[in-house]
């Protein structure tokens, strides 16, 4: 492959890791928990006319560029965006956050949630990127809607700190999926007891 093929391949595997990490964060983690993006670098980056050392340098510099650069969360898959738009946009990594399967409080079960809109709360403020140095900070606001009940969308706030993604906020608040692990007869009294306890009432057993 050529140098540009190798860079494209590296970018593509990085994108896969980013989407996978984001899915894990939103589907399985709770508020303030984090995931780290781990890039899978395969060893078949043989570049025509380049020795192993040059290839290693190429992989490393491309990886550093991706980690240090700005990421643009978009609502359409990158390859589906018009070429004219892609050429005009500022350089960076463009990605579409994945659709999810998460618990819907209204449906009372796990349902498919589709991405409706996405934005970066820190916007295009260049000073934010410059001041954060080699660990770029971004704050993505992701809006999803349950495809079953189509009720009020759920909003997730994801903080990016270089390769670390943290679930920094969620509205409405996450509903605890207790019915999956605790029988219904026990579940409701238990929740009442937890609520009483959190309100400062003592529980007599
Ligand atoms: Zn629902």
77: which 2 tokens?
A: 């898959």
- In the prediction, which pLDDT does 5 show? 81
- In the prediction, which pLDDT does 128 show? 58
- In the prediction, which pLDDT does 196 show? 46
Ranges under pLDDT 50 in the chain: 194-201, 203-205
- In the prediction, which pLDDT does 64 show? 86
Residues 6+ positions from 89 with CB-CB distance below 8 Å:
72
DSSP 76: S
Quote the ligand 1 centre to 106 CA distance (angstroms): 5
Rounded CA-CA distance 121/138 in Å is 8
pLDDT in tens, 70-117: 899 998 876 677 776 767 777 788 999 999 999 999 999 999 999 999
Asked if 161 and 135 count as a contact pair (C-beta separation under 8 A), the reply is: yes
- In the prediction, which pLDDT does 59 show? 81
Residues with a beta carbon under 5 angstroms from ion ligand 1: 104, 106-107, 111, 146, 148-149
Quote the ligand 1 centre to 3 CA distance (angstroms): 47
Rounded CA-CA distance 18/14 in Å is 6
- pTM for this model (two decimals): 0.78
Quote the ligand 1 centre to 175 CA distance (angstroms): 12
């Amino acid at each position: 492959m050529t140098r540009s093929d190798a860079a494209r391949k590296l970018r593509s595997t990085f994108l896969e890791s980013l989407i996978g990490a984001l899915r894990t964060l939103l589907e399985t983690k709770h508020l303030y928990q984090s995931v780290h993006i781990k890039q899978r670098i395969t060893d078949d980056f043989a570049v025509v006319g380049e020795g192993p050392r040059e290839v290693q340098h190429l992989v490393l510099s491309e990886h550093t560029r991706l980690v240090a650069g700005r990421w643009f969360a978009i609502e359409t898959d990158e390859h589906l965006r018009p070429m004219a738009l892609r050429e005009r946009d500022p350089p960076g990594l463009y990605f579409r956050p994945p659709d999810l399967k998460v618990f819907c409080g209204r449906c009372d079960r796990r349902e498919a949630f589709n991405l409706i809109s996405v934005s970066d709360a820190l916007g295009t403020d260049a000073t934010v990127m410059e001041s954060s140095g080699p660990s770029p900070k971004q704050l993505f606001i992701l809006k999803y809607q349950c495809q079953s009940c189509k009720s009020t969308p759920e909003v997730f706030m994801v903080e990016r700190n270089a390769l670390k993604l943290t679930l920094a906020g969620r509205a409405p608040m996450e509903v605890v999926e207790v019915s999956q692990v605790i029988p219904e007869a026990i579940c409701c009294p238990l929740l009442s007891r937890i609520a009483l306890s959190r309100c400062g009432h003592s529980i007599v057993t």
